[in-house]
A = this chain, B = another copy of it.
Amino acid sequence: MTESLSMSRQSSEALLYLTDEQLRQGIEAMFFAYRGFTDDPDRILSGMSYGRAHHRAIHFINCAPGTTVNNLLSILGVTKQSLNRVLRTLVNDGLVEARIGQKDRRERHLFLTDEGAQLEHRLSGAQRARMRAAFRQAGPEAVAGFRTVLEAMMDDTLLHHYKGLRDYPT
């Protein structure tokens, strides 16, 4: 009964999933899921004198060790003043090391110290645990769809950063 009904709806409407109501649900799913996504690291960081900005910096330095300040800037999409405030505290606290470039001595190449790597691991561990649970619960096909939609939602610039961080099998 319900099956035939949903069948007829699907066949009568070519693109059922593109109604405004479906789109609204997609929008709200993004809103709520992003909250869940950032919750765990935020909770860990709230104890220390760090915030989400520090987490982001640590995450991408970990992904791309030796990256320059400028590169990090374009990935994070913030101003250098904003990033610098964060980076300064991380360097002062001994979580990040900024080495002067060999080839171009104007550049600073960023690395996590052991202590920085430890914090990164705690933060991403919490986030990965949630992601892993969600992926496991949803199944491989859903995960593939999840990534396809998310990539389609990015700007080309963002997509470029996303794909550029590592080689990424399409």
Asked whether A131 lies within 8 Å of B27 as measured between CB atoms, the reply is yes
Asked whether B27 lies within 8 Å of A147 as measured between CB atoms, the reply is no
A23 within 8 A of B: yes
Contacting residues, chain B, for A23 (C-beta < 8 A): 128, 131-132, 135
A138 within 8 A of B: yes
Which of B26, B28, B35, B146 is A149 in contact with, Cβ under 8 Å? B146
Contacting residues, chain B, for A131 (C-beta < 8 A): 23, 26-27, 153
Tally of contact residues, A, Cβ under 8 A: 63
Contacting residues, chain B, for A37 (C-beta < 8 A): 27, 30, 153
In the complex formed, the residue of B with least CB distance to A130 is B153
Say how far A71's CB is from chain B's closest CB, in angstroms.
Answer: 15
Contact with B along A60-78 (1 / 0, CB 8 A): 0001000000000000010
Alpha-carbon gap, A134 to B166, bound state (A): 23
In the complex formed, the residue of B with least CB distance to A143 is B17
Contacting residues, chain B, for A162 (C-beta < 8 A): 28-29, 32
Instruction: List 14 A-B residue pairs with CB atoms under 8 Å apart, sorted by A's residue number.
Output: A17-B135, A24-B124, A29-B150, A32-B154, A32-B159, A33-B150, A34-B34, A135-B152, A137-B152, A138-B152, A141-B141, A141-B145, A145-B148, A146-B146
Which residues of A pack against B, CB within 8 Å? 15-18, 20-37, 39, 56, 59, 63, 77, 124, 127-128, 130-155, 158-159, 161-162, 165-166, 168
